[in-house]
Structure 1
Amino acid sequence: MSPVRSLARVLLSGIFLAGGVRQLRSPEQYVQRAKPVTDRLTPLLERAAPTLPSDTETLVRVNGAAHLAGGLLLATGHFTRPVSLLLAGSMVPTTLAGHPFWTHDDPETRTGQQVHFMKNLGLIGGLLLAAADTHGRPSLRWRAGHRIGHSRRSVQRAVRTARRETRLAVRSAAAARRLPG
């Protein structure tokens, strides 16, 4: 594993580790900002999975746990591709709830929120790159296609061999019938 990849993952995971711990320790400071987004998501969650909790504080804690666990896995290099996708997906509601710059009238506040919004978009981009990174190895899609192509060629080779063997057997049987005996 290259040192650059390792360092990049550790640096990228830092914000998730710190944010996850903060959300787990004191979710109440995030509840007010998250409420508009969770109010929109709650009907979808109740339809999709009625047994899951839908109150804002619990969802903030779940998001914090996802960020903490995902940050740890990303930093240690375990399950980096799926964890990166999980973190990128969790950043969408986090960004919408945390930095709605379009709701602010004060130009200074609006600019500050817009900077944080764009920073989060950059984090999502970095996470998508980490999700696509195969560490120099071929992707699963390529390996599956290559395996299928290899299997197809093997079957075609076996069919050609069977046909050739059949033709030889037919010729041998015909030649054996023609022999006096």
Structure 2
Amino acid sequence: MLLRRLARPLLATIFISGGINALRYSKAHADMAAPMLEKTIGAHSEKLPDSVPTDPETLVKLDAVAKIVAGTALALGRFPRFSAAVLLASLVPTTASAHKFWELEDASERDAQRIHFLKNAGLAGGLLLAVADTEGKPSLGWHARHVAHSTGKQVGSLGNSVQGGLRNAQKSPSHCARRAKRARATAGSRLRSH
């Protein structure tokens, strides 16, 4: 659809640009992210394996690469739902560390950061729509409901068969004996006619 081919690159552009900018100025971005990283990852760094990076500059670079790769994939329509989910996961810590308008004293700076915060909230909304967009194909939720519904029908049909058999077995012994006698008679008459 033409709308998706236009909307995805428009949505991805800010992330690709932001990722390139973060790579170019990784030290400045790391300084901005350091307080939030210290509160989150720093408190648990001794529990993490040695192979997991915890220094702010490396984490900023990894986040930048994720934004560039996922943004490019979204723009090209490659794995768009997954790419949008990666960008959304990247947007949350970026917004939380860079646009804490509620902590600022200066009114003009607070207003500017509030605008950036709300812009990122709007981008998050667009990414949520991209994550949910199945391009008209049935979603996993639809498939799960469909399987559950048809399984329920089969179980119900099986239950009815079992109940019918139980009802027949519970009928009086004389009724069952008459049915068996009729069945033997029918089988005997078939044998004689051949």
- Could you say which TM-score interval applies, normalised by the shorter chain? 0.7 to 0.9
- Residues 87-96 or 170-179, more deviating: 170-179
SS at match of 2:119: helix
Structure 2 equivalent of residue 20 of structure 1: 19
Mapping for residues 8-47 of structure 1, pairs under 5 Å: 8-43=7-42, 46=45
In the alignment, structure 1 residue 177 sits paired with structure 2 residue 176: no
Gaps of 5+ in 1: none
- Residues 129-138 or 118-127, more deviating: 129-138
Structure 2 equivalent of residue 136 of structure 1: 136
Structure 1 equivalent of residue 172 of structure 2: none
1:147 Cα deviation after fit = 2.0
Whether the aligned pair in 2 keeps the contact of 1:45 and 1:52 (CA below 8 Å) is: no
What letter corresponds to residue 79 of structure 2 in structure 1?
Answer: F
Whether the aligned pair in 2 keeps the contact of 1:24 and 1:61 (CA below 8 Å) is: yes
What letter corresponds to residue 111 of structure 1 in structure 2?
Answer: D
What letter corresponds to residue 64 of structure 1 in structure 2?
Answer: A
1:53 Cα deviation after fit = 0.5
Structure 2 equivalent of residue 120 of structure 1: 120
Listed one character per residue, the Cα deviations across residues 29-87 of structure 1 (whole Å, up to 9, x for unaligned) are 21111111111122365366433100000110111011111101111112222222221
SS at match of 2:18: helix
SS at match of 1:34: helix
Listed one character per residue, the Cα deviations across residues 147-167 of structure 1 (whole Å, up to 9, x for unaligned) are 232233345556767999xx9
Structure 1 equivalent of residue 171 of structure 2: none
CA RMSD of aligned residues (A): 2.8
Whether the aligned pair in 2 keeps the contact of 1:6 and 1:77 (CA below 8 Å) is: yes
| Larger Rg belongs to | 2
| Cα distance change of structure 1 residues 59 and 178 upon mapping to structure 2, 3 Å threshold | same
Structure 2 equivalent of residue 98 of structure 1: 98
Gaps of 5+ in 2: 169-175, 190-194
SS at match of 2:135: coil
- Residues 5-14 or 45-54, more deviating: 45-54
Structure 2 equivalent of residue 82 of structure 1: 82
1: CA distance, partners of 2:126 / 2:46: 32
What letter corresponds to residue 36 of structure 1 in structure 2?
Answer: P
2: CA distance, partners of 1:159 / 1:146: 20
| Cα distance change of structure 1 residues 124 and 178 upon mapping to structure 2, 3 Å threshold | same
Instruction: State the identity %.
Output: 38
2: CA distance, partners of 1:159 / 1:150: 14
Aligned length, in residue pairs: 178
Whether the aligned pair in 2 keeps the contact of 1:31 and 1:57 (CA below 8 Å) is: yes
In the alignment, structure 1 residue 66 sits paired with structure 2 residue 73: no
